Amino acid sequence: MVAGTVILTLTGLLSRFIGFFYRIFLSNVFGAEGMGLYQLISPVLALSFSLTVSGIQTAISKYVASETSTHDYKSSFRTLWAGFLLAMALSAVCASGIYVYAEPIAASLLLEPRTAPLLRIIALSIPMASVHSCINGYFYGIRRTGIPAFSQLAEQVCRVGSVYLIYFICQKQGLTPTISFAVVGLVIGESASMIVSVVAILARAHQVFPACGHVSVQKPFSSITAVYRRITGQLLQLAVPLSANRLVLNLLQSVEAIYIPNRLLAYGLSNADALSVYGVLTGMSLPLILFPSAITNSISVLLLPIVSEADASGNRTAVRRAIFTSIRCCLLLGFFCTALFLLFGRMAGRLLFHSELAGSFILTLSFICPFMYIASTLNSILNGLGKTIQTFLFSVVSLLLRLLFVFFAIPIYGIKGYLWGMLASQMLQTLLCTVSALHVSHKQ
């Protein structure tokens, strides 16, 4: 467990490190407006993942974990295959819908017709993402986290490397690169991750099936279909509520992302300026603010199984210690990062992104750090204690508060209204998580 978490943590840190400097490269090459267009397609990707494979991946992990404990490799592969077929059917429908209706989606939902060509490109990545997500779910289930970690790293390296290569070819040929090249890189990264995952699962099948012995009696087709119907039913029973929760959160986040540029138009900015401000915020300033959260994300990954095990064994002292220790550590890390961003945020905006506006956003967003880190770790603790409905509701309430600032504060105060909303919503979520965690600790 610890070794797997360490692998995922180190890989996550390396991937985030590569992705951070990739963002700097994109912002310097394509500018703030290009970054705004690039960020606008993110809600479509998030929603497609929620609809197609997010819940299925978790369900595969759960059932594979229970089956491999009995060394029933055949059942675990059937679970993977049933989930894979289900996810591929959903992803094919989703990808086709996005590709065919790219113009209406861009104009009516994203409120930016120029994103239509980008949507057609990312539609190609959806089936690939479903393939490697299902396979990663299998490997998470059998606690071999090296494969998902390596596929994640392969995706990041191939995505960044391909965009760098395309850019330098364009430079050599005297062509002007467009933001669509970054979206092509996303598809290339997904294909690399899929290839790594497929090779790994084929190797796994070759490894385990000889140990299972040869099956001399072929089951009738009706019996096989009955087995797969039962497995598919089990997967759907777990996957549907998980996907529904994620879908609600992603829908709210999508509305937020789409309407920030739109409400900036109501504030009085031009379309180009609104996209530029949005691009600076989401493509430059926020990635820098979120970079230290790789540490708290790793802590969260460690805390969830530890707290779950302590709760299951009735070790109340360990649960209380985890809650209070995480609050103290996250406060220290948060205050340190806030001070760091306050001292060097403006300079970082100038040096990294060549943008005074980015530096100004970093200064304002720096106050979010302590609240964001505490909320993320307490969320993990509460999930480990089985309070998943509570954490879901806390996230929904904080997102709804942020949306109020998007619709009513941005037209009056500009992007500052949204920054205030981010701080208020993060404080609210942290307060709710803290009260709930302390209540649990006293109750214990």
Q: What's the rounded Cα separation, in Å, for the pair 347 and 443?
A: 47
Q: Is the pLDDT of residue 209 over 80?
A: no
User: What is the pLDDT at residue 324?
Assistant: 83
125 plus 262 within the same structural domain = yes
Q: Is the pLDDT of residue 4 over 80?
A: no
Residue 181 lies in a domain: yes
Residue 286 lies in a domain: no
Quickly list H helices, 41-174: 42-52, 54-68, 73-100, 102-104, 116-123, 125-141, 146-173
pLDDT single digits (tens) 282-310: 888 998 898 887 777 666 655 655 666 66
175 plus 120 within the same structural domain = yes
Residue 280 lies in a domain: no
Question: Tell me, what amino acid is at 79?
Answer: T
Calculate the alpha carbon distances from 178 to 38, 41, 181, 358 in Å.
10, 15, 6, 22
**DSSP helix/strand/coil, 124:** coil
309 plus 250 within the same structural domain = no
User: What is the pLDDT at residue 81?
Assistant: 92
pTM of the model: 0.81
Residue 250: count of CB within 10 angstroms of its CB: 22
Residue 284 lies in a domain: no
CA dihedral of residues 373, 189, 278, 343 (deg, nearest 10): 40
254 plus 382 within the same structural domain = no
Percent of the chain with pLDDT over 90: 49
Percent of the chain with pLDDT over 70: 89
41 plus 106 within the same structural domain = yes
Residue 93 lies in a domain: yes
Burial class (CB in 10 A: 0-12, 13-18, 19+), 218: exposed
187 plus 119 within the same structural domain = yes
Residue 275 lies in a domain: no
Q: For 36-45, 310-319, 406-415, which range has the lowest pLDDT when averaged over its residues?
A: 310-319
State which residues form the domain around 333: 292-444
309 plus 231 within the same structural domain = no
Residue 231 lies in a domain: yes
pLDDT single digits (tens) 363-389: 999 999 999 988 888 887 887 677 878
Mean pLDDT, rounded, for 87-105: 95
Which residues have a Cβ under 8 Å from the Cβ of 401 and sit 6 or more positions away?
A: 421, 424, 425, 428
158 plus 18 within the same structural domain = yes
132 plus 207 within the same structural domain = yes
Q: What's the rounded Cα separation, in Å, for the pair 317 and 339?
A: 33
Which pair of tokens denotes residue 271?
């379309």
Residue 244 lies in a domain: yes
Tally of CA atoms within 13 A in the half-sphere of 33 that contains its CB: 9
Quickly list H helices, 268-368: 271-280, 286-290, 293-312, 316-353, 356-365
**DSSP helix/strand/coil, 179:** coil
Tally of CA atoms within 13 A in the half-sphere of 270 that contains its CB: 3
**DSSP helix/strand/coil, 409:** coil
Which residues have a Cβ under 8 Å from the Cβ of 328 and sit 6 or more positions away?
A: none
Read off the pLDDT band of 8 (50, 70, 90). Answer: low
Read off the pLDDT band of 214 (50, 70, 90). Answer: very low
Highest mean pLDDT among 86-100, 208-222, 224-238, 383-397: 86-100
262 plus 306 within the same structural domain = no
Last-in-domain residue among 268, 302, 322: 268
100 plus 146 within the same structural domain = yes
Which pair of tokens denotes residue 351?
């040096």
Last-in-domain residue among 234, 268, 302: 268
404 plus 335 within the same structural domain = yes
- With left for phi above 0 and alpha for psi between -120 and 50, is residue 178 left, alpha or beta? beta
Tally the domains of the chain. 2
Report phi then psi at 171, rounded to 5: -60, -40
Mean pLDDT, rounded, for 116-142: 92
